[in-house]
Structure 1
Amino acid sequence: MPDYDYDLFVIGAGSGGTRAARVAAAHGAKVAVAEEYRVGGTCVIRGCVPKKLLVYGAHFAEDLKDARRFGWQVPDTCAFDWTCLQENVLAEVDRINAAYTDTIGNAGAEIILQRATVSGANEVTLADGTKKTAKVILIAVGAHPAVPDCPGSEHGITSNEVFHLDAIPKRILIAGAGYIANEFAGIFHQFGAHVTLMNRSKEILRGYDLQIRDRLLQISMMKGLEFKFDATFQGIEKGDDGCLTVSMSGHDPVTVDMVLFATGRLPNTAGLGLDSAGVALDDKGAVVVDADNRSTCPSIYAIGDVTNRIQLTPIAIREGQAFADNLYGGKATTVDYDCVPSAVFSHPPIAGVGLTEAEARQKLGSVKVYSSDFRPMKNVLANRDERALYKMVCDGETDRVVGIHMIGPDVPEIIQAAAVAVKAGLTKAQFDDTVALHPTMAEELVLLK
């Protein structure tokens, strides 16, 4: 048997790589993890965690206004200190980064804070030129924001840079209409910026239920967000005053202070050396893997966003767990990608699990849909004309709930429990048999008509 430096070498210390390394080490494997930036990956350092904290901060804009209707003497003008929020958010990122680092070390895995590339089926090369060998190599390098190929694209920023802005822009154009675009649209709007969303198609949040995303579009426009549909970049010009003029197809040019690209994410496989080991990539640059996360090279595996299956942190974590348990724990484990809940922390947020109405009609044919379109109690007293919409999609033959989709305050918190019910295959009758918890918004799930 060859003598390797490690049983497992993990490239990338994000959520998936960290879980795989920790669990493999706990099973007794000799493990090393290489990370070129900071331990924690996209989610912790420049993604869902700091972004959710910005979402919390943004909500105070409306909450402070609403508080007057609840008897609080809030001044008409409340100053917002971006630097204060930014420093507190980045301090929390530092704390979690340290916790992730400690977790890997405490599990007995070695952390190498350098970029590593693949230089053979069982070899990696570090940035300083050192070569290491491993019986198994795990690719967990994640993905990066896509930047449109247009003149002047260097003047725009991506979600990576948002957390380090010197100030909130007065006018911002956000390119894209997926979850990242809509989340930052809500954040910047509540922080006082005029927001323009630009999208190459006619719809937002493709993949979510049509009624739910239409409701978000309606509310967003009511709040003052501006949308440019069927628009593609023609160029971005920076003026002497620092302002950016964006030319686009089908619309007049727009002048803003900042352009944010939120047009998808691409796997981080460029320059990784995977071709040296015969690792196949798809047309998006993602590592092609089988159900056990093994690539076309038997000794190289991949998990998380770099495989471009479902780009969600909990999926990467489950894939990392399954990989480690399979190879080092003697547990035959595969990840079930059915009924994965998701949420968009827009303003208001949306959440869903299972089949949309359109998907259910195409797959099942016979479908029954139940819904509740209501004004949340808090919005009523706050005199805020903003309605929530809950929707349940059922198999018309069996009454089984195959999808739940929601928009309104706190729906991401509600959908987690609802996802358990959908995953378990419960029926509409079983929802109806459950006593409502009053007064809550969640009770609408057992009162749908």
Structure 2
Amino acid sequence: MHQGQPAIPPMFLSRFQVDERAPFVRHLNRLEVEIGREDYRHLKRVERLPRALTAAEKSGLIDLTGRLLSTTQNDYNRRLLQRLGIQVLLDARRYRVYYCMRGQTIRFDAVWRERVLDRFFGRVPLDRTGWQDCGSSLPDFEVRYEPDDAGGALLFRRQGGDAAGDRLLTAPHGPYDPHTLEVALYFLRSGKAGAAVINLGFAGREPLTDSNLERLKSWGVPLNPSNIDVIYPYLDERGYPCSYKTERALPDYLAVLGMAAPAVILDIHGCVGTCPEDRKVVVGLGGMPPWPVPDGVGRLEPHGEILHLFPNQRLREGLELVRELSEEVFVQFCSDPQTCYNFVLLGGLQAVGRRINPKQDTQSLIEGEERSFLPAERVRWLPGAGANALQRSRVADLPGPPLVLHVEIPTAIRRNMALRLAEMAIFDSLDSSGL
């Protein structure tokens, strides 16, 4: 880390050293890639261009080189870019990154983003769009594209309805969590939310697939796959993490959606569970300031070391929205750094659990990475971190205020939701055809 660089939140600081003799060993994202077997082939395409960019073509691009070199946490990749004299340029409107160097130019395309935009607009818009009918992709909803320098966002809202007090779904890590779009569309299509904000940009840490790494290696650019923050930037030009952009812009998105104060915000994330077959859904109420207080979520009754939680009406309504996803739903939150809670939801939306001291009761699933879980319950420990805290802060002054649920959905559940969404589309098609 270089002195004077923009501040990266401590929870995202990664400490590792790449062995020059083994440059392709993965030090981060191992849980997703090696254990969860998440499929990232759809995210990026890497191409070597037949010619260099002209000066005129470069003039409209953003030079990321200095920002990436000063903020990357991978010293090996920093030295590689410096040694090869790579200039990194961003076409913000098309969300493409160029590696310009002596003898060749390499382009990174955000393929997932382009496919999503083409699905709803029949093209890849370069500027803000108006509201357009979603058609068969999402009946009774309309969509618009909101651009920014980090990939932009898709906004959805129900047609002809009053969105003021409806439920909002946010997907801030759009491309990083496989099946994010399908999960969001399932929630909207099944009536669990009336509006959604889906981030289309990268957070700067999405892993490159082995096939893309091999192509880069064959072109003389052997990037290390750990913490890929030298392509799409991790920090924006003001020093804010791109992974928090949805939360920072939430008031603006609410204004565009016409939602004065949503009743509930479902903030959906994908996670890898404690094993590939894990089906435990974790609902986080907050794990950082502003701390949630037990009295604010319901009534707690101690029975020895066991706690019974009777959720209040607001939390019950929120939990109803995710209850069908799994037979195993956990509720987690912290009221201060050392006092946290983990509950498992019962059939009547009551819950039983215990107090947790995260320093004593959690372990990491994988050595060298902070991927916490509770060994006693074999469940991930994900009460809600910085983005969740920022989101709750941004809506704290709204009427209500809105209930914010940080919903972590494991890989197996997300894949199942994608299948259920496809089934819903087939049934709708059969109904419309009269079969």
Q: TM-score range by the shorter chain?
A: under 0.3
- Structure with max Cα Rg: 1
Instruction: Provide TM-score, normalisation by structure 2.
Output: 0.26
Instruction: Provide TM-score, normalisation by structure 1.
Output: 0.26
